Amino acid sequence: MSKRFIHRTQNFQIPNETNAYRVEKIEMPTELFGKNVFSLNTMRAVLPNQIYRNMKAVIEEGAALDAATADVVAASMKDWAMSNGATHYTHWFHPLTGLTAEKHLAFLAPLGEGGVISEFSGKDLLRGEPDASSFPSGGLRSTFEARGYTGWDPTSNAFLLEGLNGKTLCIPSFFIGWGGQALDKKTPLLRSSEALSKQAIRILRLFGNTTAKKVTAYLGCEQEYFLIDRKYYLQRPDLVAVGRTLFGAKPPKGQELEDHYFGSIKERVLAYMQDLERELYKLGIPVNTRHNEVAPMQFEIAPIFETLNTAVDHNMIMMSIMKTVAHRHGFECLLHEKPFARINGSGKHNNWSIIDNEGTNLVDPGSTPQENAQFLVFLAAVMRAIHLYGDILRVTVASAANDHRLGANEAPPAIISIYLGEKLTQVVRYLAEGTPIQKKSEGFIDIGVSMLPPLPAHDSDRNRTSPFAFTGNKFEFRAVGSSQSCATPMMVLNTIVAESLGYIADILEEEVRQQKPFNQAVKELVSKLFRDHSLILFDGDNYSQSWHEEAVRRGLPNLRNTFEAAPALVTEKAKQLFTKHKVLSEIELESRFHIKLEKFIKNLNIETEMTLQIGRTNIIPAGIAYQQRLSDSIRSAATYVPESSITEQKALLQKVSRLINDLILKLNTLDEFNQEAKSHREDLLKCAEIYQTKVRPAMEEVRGIADELELYVDEDLWQLPKYHEMLFHV
């Protein structure tokens, strides 16, 4: 074992397969599930019957919540929470940081004579007032009018968060300014769900459905993550500060052997997963899948899909629990989109479908002619939405971190297109252009109506390179980054599909009014939409250069990074879209644009300063120490051995010296570019442009040299844990 390794690990116990962390008592999921959730189930047990029914109507049908009900619910919720060990409560919300926020308040209030009582009224439940001045608002609210308030979102269950020494009641909430401006991610998400429901119901009514009351989007998200031993994490200031390694030579063995994907799960990792799953079950999060992912020490966890609002909240809770539980196991859980260069990054596939309150999935082809025709309308709406508004969907997943993934050969490209699978594509082509369907008999459901073609039976998706794939009864948006909240991408997806459904409903309602036969109207409109929007379909290899060229010919935007993508938020088209459906006002939209750029700039500034710091105080000193060692050795060797024996050693010294010199130069250039970018702080777009076009390439150059130096410097002098240690020492 090298001296360096011993030095590095001496303060840590090295957890290994045999001392993997064990939970004290193994309980079955059935005992645990939902234990810490104030769900409808819990409510049925603790609330008076009428109040329970009121709450059910609020949650399931969007009925209004009255103050009397809120009071009774608050009292029961408090009793339930306290009897389960909670001492505090908090409105738990999603500010525009992209994280969640909480401010805890004790249930206890002192009485005059030295006693205490517990307090929590309907008013306390419905509204909290955190000082909002320090959350990003993108100009929505300047600090002198700092107050915003949080309000209970009864459609997402309250839950108990367990700390080591007590529990906290968390009340999922929206967060808005006094003028009603959305200061968070949940408010627009809820508004977009309403818009989607409203427009989808219009379509259902056209198809003769008079009973469905509400349509709800569902989400199942597959979450990728890395685990590394925490002792290494704490010795990587870059991982601690920015979540990714800014330096690190490629290890001799990376992921090229493809031996990790679906491989057997190591004991210590499995112990973590099992512990994590139990914590998530308690919170009513129905996690289902676990497996090794492509990169070494990369894994995936996926819950069973739930209503969108709940799934978004659950994913946020899950990400935070993943990190907490990792610490118990001596791991750090990395959710960054690209923790390691030249190793696959992590994403979060968002599986989205829309289902009415009678349980019909509207993006499932179904089995009757009518269901099939209706499905084609929804399909056409999605195609139109993605074709016309793909740039807006794209910007929702843009971030400094996700820029490293999108467009590299491991994740969907920045070009947004749709993959439908071979059979469904044939149906679309048939309706659009009359192209005959081949192999009708095989795997097609013949619906026996001459107006519409047969629809394929569930077609499994074999194109993993597509950013937006139809997978049988849902669409899968794969460009979302692993650390991102699903709220904004799903908010946009809801809104753009609502817009298309509204567009279709406008036309069909008018044609019905003019007595056009409905079937014919549907067929003509669907055919036209398929024709107009078939350019958005692509079933080839999304990673290939030829697709990039083809996309240009098709006029599909290729917004390669956050700087290029951000302006899509503030186009006239975007403003009209969001204001029309009352999802975001113009000023709310602009605030999102500002925050997007602000965050990009701040992240890159932190990365740059961290690069400078590590480069100058860690890597160069290591290089210089090695240079010193080499030159000392050469000097003394020269007194004993002939010159010809040390020529290569001199060459090595020269190589090392040159790398150190170049590194110093490149670091200085990086520093200058960063200062230049900062001097444009008043003009966000200009500033972001400099970060993208100058700072980022300069950072890459620094890294290139430092990573080369790593391959020469004496192992014992190199301070930073190396890739092969972080990725392979479990």
Residues forming contacts to ligand ADP in the complex (CB under 6 A) are 218-220, 222, 289, 302-305, 349, 351-353, 361, 473-474
Q: Which residue is nearest to ligand ADP (CB)?
A: 220
The reply to whether 474 sits near Mg ion by the rule CB under 5 A is: no
B/e letters for 121-154, b = 16+ CB within 10 Å, e = fewer, are ebebbbebebebeebbbbebbeeeeeebbbbbbb
Which one of Mg ion, ligand ADP, none is in contact with 409 (Cβ closer than 5 to 8 A by kind)?
none
Q: With CB under 5 A as the contact rule, which of the stretches 168-176, 303-311, 342-350, 446-454 interacts with Mg ion?
A: 342-350
Closest separation between CB of residue 557 and ligand ADP, Å? 26
Check: CB of residue 4 under 8 Å from CB of residue 218: no
Of 542 and 627, which has the nearer Cβ to Mg ion?
Answer: 542
Which one of ligand ADP, Mg ion, none is in contact with 305 (Cβ closer than 5 to 8 A by kind)?
ligand ADP
Please list the alpha-helical segments (H only) found in 35-113: 40-46, 49-61, 67-83
Of 361 and 558, which has the nearer Cβ to ligand ADP?
Answer: 361
Q: Quote the DSSP letter at residue 695.
A: I
Number of residues that bind Mg ion (CB under 5 A): 1
Rg (CA), the chain: 28
Which one of ligand ADP, Mg ion, none is in contact with 478 (Cβ closer than 5 to 8 A by kind)?
none
Helix (H, G, I), strand (E, B) or coil at 55: helix
Check: CB of residue 93 under 8 Å from CB of residue 169: no
The reply to whether 348 sits near Mg ion by the rule CB under 5 A is: no
Helix (H, G, I), strand (E, B) or coil at 419: strand
Which one of Mg ion, ligand ADP, none is in contact with 90 (Cβ closer than 5 to 8 A by kind)?
none
Q: How far apart are CA 363 and CA 475, in angstroms?
A: 8
Phi, psi of 43 (to 5 degrees): -60, -40
B/e letters for 518-557, b = 16+ CB within 10 Å, e = fewer, are eeebbbebbbebbeebbbbbbbeebbeeebbebbeebebb
Q: How far apart are CA 320 and CA 283, in angstroms?
A: 12
The reply to whether 384 sits near Mg ion by the rule CB under 5 A is: no
Q: How far apart are CA 338 and CA 245, in angstroms?
A: 8
The reply to whether 581 sits near Mg ion by the rule CB under 5 A is: no
Of 38 and 305, which has the nearer Cβ to Mg ion?
Answer: 305
Which one of Mg ion, ligand ADP, none is in contact with 353 (Cβ closer than 5 to 8 A by kind)?
ligand ADP
Closest separation between CB of residue 676 and Mg ion, Å? 42
Q: How far apart are CA 218 and CA 197, in angstroms?
A: 12
The reply to whether 349 sits near Mg ion by the rule CB under 5 A is: yes
Of 94 and 478, which has the nearer Cβ to Mg ion?
Answer: 478
User: Identity (one letter) of the amino acid at 172?
Assistant: P
Which one of ligand ADP, Mg ion, none is in contact with 356 (Cβ closer than 5 to 8 A by kind)?
none
- Site residues for Mg ion, window 688-727 (CB under 5 A)? none
Q: With CB under 5 A as the contact rule, which of the stretches 107-115, 349-357, 386-394, 534-542 interacts with Mg ion?
A: 349-357
Kindly give the interhelix angle for 586-614 and 572-580, rounded to the nearest 10 degrees: 120
Closest separation between CB of residue 213 and ligand ADP, Å? 20
Which one of ligand ADP, Mg ion, none is in contact with 135 (Cβ closer than 5 to 8 A by kind)?
none
Closest separation between CB of residue 581 and ligand ADP, Å? 22
Closest separation between CB of residue 354 and ligand ADP, Å? 8
Check: CB of residue 411 under 8 Å from CB of residue 479: yes
Strands 306-307 vs 418-419: parallel, antiparallel or unpaired: unpaired
Which one of Mg ion, ligand ADP, none is in contact with 473 (Cβ closer than 5 to 8 A by kind)?
ligand ADP
Closest separation between CB of residue 349 and Mg ion, Å? 4
Binding site for Mg ion (CB under 5 A): 349
